[in-house]
Structure 1
C-alpha cells in the first residue's frame, strides 16, 4: 500500500478541498490543522467533520510551529509526498506574531521534517501577493518579486527562498504555487466573495474599495485543486532558467519550481458585486472606501509555465463560480 499524502491546513479552505479530491481518487490522506481562530472555528470544524468519517483519512490537530510535534508526525506516518497549505493568511496587518510563527517557523519545521524524512516532493502554497508593487501585467514567475507590500506577502516570498535553499542544499524537490484570489464553496469568510455575499444576504452594507475599480484574477477553488493534485506526482527537475544564471558552475542547480495558478482573466470588483446581487436576487447597499494598505489595484496571472508543464490552466468562469458558491452559501447558512 502506498504511503499517505500529508495535507496541512486540512481544515482550511483549500486544504479541505484538496483532501476531498485526493480521497475521492483513492489516496490515503493525513490531514493536519492547528485550528487557529483567524475566522469562525465552526466553519473549520464543519470542514474537518466531513473528512473524518472517511476511512482513508486520518485527522491530526497540530501546530506546525511545534518542531518536535512535527518531527513526530513524520516519524509516525512515513510520508513520501507533502502538500503544505497551512499558513496565517491575510494581507491586512494586525499582529505580526502569527505570521512569524506559522509562515516562517512552521515552514522551517516542515522543510526540516521533509529533509530528514526523505520526502520525494513538497508542494507548498505561496501567493500572488508576492508580486506586491510590480506594475508589469500579467504577473510572471520570471519577473522580480522583491517588493512585497504586506507582511503576509513577505513571509510567502521568504518561503520560496527557503524552499529553494533546501532544494539546492539537500536536493529536496519543492514546488511553490502562487494562488490568485481563490473563492468557492467552503471559502474563507474574510475574503470578498464570501464577505459580500453574507452582507448582501443579510441586508447589511458592504464596503467597496476604490469605487469597485479594482481588478482581481478570481480563481475557482476546483481549478486550484486540480492544479495541486496534478503537480503532486510531478517532482520538478532542476530549473534550467536558474541553471543558466548560476554564478558558480560548481553549484548544483536546485529541483525547485514556482507556478502561478490563476484564471488569467481579471474581473472588476463591480462585476463581482453585480453577479452576487443577481445570484441572491437582491441589491447591495454600498459604501465606497479607499484601497486598504497592503492591497493592489490589479492582479493577473501569466499561466504559460503551468500550461506548458502540466497541461492545465484554470477555466471556470466567474459567473459559474459565483452561482456554485451562492448555492453552497444558501445551503450552509439556511438562506
Structure 2
C-alpha cells in the first residue's frame, strides 16, 4: 500500500487532535511532531508511538521522506511555515485562518502556487454529515434557488482572556467558519457585509477591543442573503444550526445531541442539551477532512478546501470588522485589489462536495 508520510507542526489541542486522527488511516505514516513546549508533548507522543518529537519544526521540513505537513501552530506563525514548507516541496494542511492579514495570506498562497504543492485549509464544517446533506440538496435542485441562508453559531462558554487577546477577534476566530459555510452552501461569493455587534456577556471582550455577540448580514453575488448570528456563550451548549430557504422549499439542520430521546411527562417535555463543544460536535468532520487531504495527496487531485477559500473567508471577516467599527455596510471590493486573481486558479472548482 502506498503511504503518505506526514509531520505535524504544533501539538496544542488541535494539533494533537489531527495527529491522533491521522493514526486511524493505514495509508498514513505519522513520522514526526514538533512543538516548542516539548514537556507537554513527549509523553503523549511516546504513548501514541510517534517515532520522533522535536522542538524545531524545520527538522520536519528538512526530512526528505516527509510528503506533507499539518500546520497547527499559532496563527502568527502560519505564513512563514507555509512558505518554508512550500519551498521544501511539502503538501500542506493549515488550520484556519491562514493569517490575520490578507497581504500575508496572499504571500503564502503565492509561494504554494509557485511550488506546485497542495494547500488545504481547515474548514472542517464542510465535511460535517449534516451540512453536506444541505449542500447536496441545494445542488440537486430540491429546494430551488437559495434565497435566505441562516447560520446560528454559538459557543458554550467564554474563552480565557489570554485566548481572546491573541484570537484576532470574533470574526476572524469564530465567524470565519460561518462565512465559509455561507459560501459553501450558496455556491456564491459575498459582495457586501453589514454587522451589528455588542458586548453583552463579559466586559473582557471590550477590554480586548472585541465583541461577544453579533449578527451579520451578507449580500451574495447570486442575489441570496446570508444571515449569521453568533454568541460566545450559549448556556445550554454548542449551538450549531443551519437553514436554507429557497424557491422550491426549505432545508434545516438542527444541533447534534448525545441521543434523540424526548421525554414527555406531566411536568414537561425534556431532551438532552446539544453536544458541548466542537471536539464532540465535529468529531467525524475532523476525520473526514483529514481523509480528504490524504486522498488528494495520494491521488494527486485538488483539495476540496483550498487557499482561495481561506482568503475569501478572511476577506469577509475583515469586511465584517470594518462594518462593525464604522457602523455601515462594507463591500468586499473595498478590500480587494487587481492582483487578487493571481492567487486563485480554481475557477469552476470552488464549491465541490466533500467526497
When the two structures are superposed, what TM-score results if normalisation uses the length of structure 1? 0.43
Structure in which a larger fraction of residues adopt strand? 2
Normalised to the residue count of structure 2, the TM-score between the two structures is 0.41
User: Considering only CA atoms, is the larger Rg found in Structure 1 or Structure 2?
Assistant: 2
